[in-house]
Amino acid sequence: MMRVVAGEWRGRTLRSPSWEGLRPTSDRLRETLFNILGPAIRGARVLDAYAGTGAIGIEALSRGAAWVSFVDNDRRAAALVEAHHASLGADRRYAIIRADVRHLPDAGGDAAFDLAIFDPPYAADAAAAALDAAARLAGAELRVVIEHAKRHAPPDRHAGFALARTVTAGDSALSFYERG
């Protein structure tokens, strides 16, 4: 079982997936992510890309994000995210989108995101592919975070983004990017 680390739903449990191939972000790594983001999450519009269980986006909502779009191509993931929201009694500050993250339409205007968090399957080119997808999202101030395998070094610059920081925990790493 996973749990919400902090905020409105602190300590509430989330069901773990029952199918192979999904690698939920650990409570510890989520806590590290949100400690780094700090108060910037409050009022932010967040994209939880490759949402899986939805734990990252749910954590963002619990900590005061204004809106979260959960994107995953797997119908089981979409159903699990919806079940988590139902069990939390969450208000409708979110959308669940069944789509391939790599083919999301451009997002602009009122749909612009402040923060895009990608947790793609671990692969050598995962960070670059996530940055390619993020490049289609509007917003000069867009910040991007990519979870990836520690053994795969993220690019310093790619698709209009510059690496600001990488932190590691176990076999995983979080790379933080800003436009530039």
In tens digits, what is the pLDDT along the chain, a chain of 180 residues? 899 999 999 999 998 877 777 778 888 999 999 999 999 999 999 999 999 999 999 999 999 999 999 999 999 999 999 999 999 988 889 999 999 988 776 554 456 899 999 999 889 999 999 999 999 887 778 999 999 999 999 999 999 999 999 999 999 999 999 998
CB 39 within 8 A of CB 96: no
Look-up of token digits 């069944």? 98
Region 2-18+26-179: CATH code: 3.40.50.150
| Phi/psi at 173 (5° precision) | -140, 155
- The DSSP output letter for 52 is T
CB 174 within 8 A of CB 33: yes
The CA distance from 60 to 72, in Å, is 17
List the strands of the sheet with 115-118, edge to edge: 94-98, 67-72, 45-49, 115-118, 143-149, 172-179, 161-169, 157-158
